[in-house]
Amino acid sequence: MNKIMLIGRTGSGKTTLTQKLNDEIVSYKKTQAVSYKSKIIDTPGEYVENKMFYKSLLVLSADAKTIILIQAANDEDTLFPPRFSTMFPRKDIIGIVTKADINPNTARSERILFEAGAKEVFKIGFDDREGLEAIKKRLGLNES
């Protein structure tokens, strides 16, 4: 089974995206530990917020084919340095700009994700069915 790993700061929308990708009812909860839901590995924001946890991201990435870097459109800062993705050799790296409904000017967030190493970037808002379907299609989540 090809797994997908989500990486992003606390509050960026990783858990909400996980719930939406799995067709679950969205209910906010702070991810305290690594969560495995179907094909998705949801990592706590602290894993990217504290460099001492980068080792944990590396270990977890061994189970993933695709790494998704999450950047919220309304976030003024980023924790993804340029070429961040190079710590995950031989992985499919994509970016997702979340909260595009809150801040439709996503150019800065997209640039951050491309500079971090995303090969392609998707945008999504909370009720964005079209964006969600595009992401599911790209990740092969519509397939049995």
Topology of domain 3-111+128-139 in CATH is Rossmann fold (3.40.50)
Within the chain, strands assigned E span: 3-7, 35-37, 40-42, 64-72, 92-98, 121-123
Please tell me the predicted confidence (pLDDT) of residue 142.
75
Please list the ranges in the chain whose pLDDT falls under 70.
1, 29-32, 143-144
> Nearest 5°: CA angle at 103, between 70 and 97?
20
Interval 126-139: pLDDT, tens:
989 999 999 999 99
So where are the chain's domains? 3-111+128-139
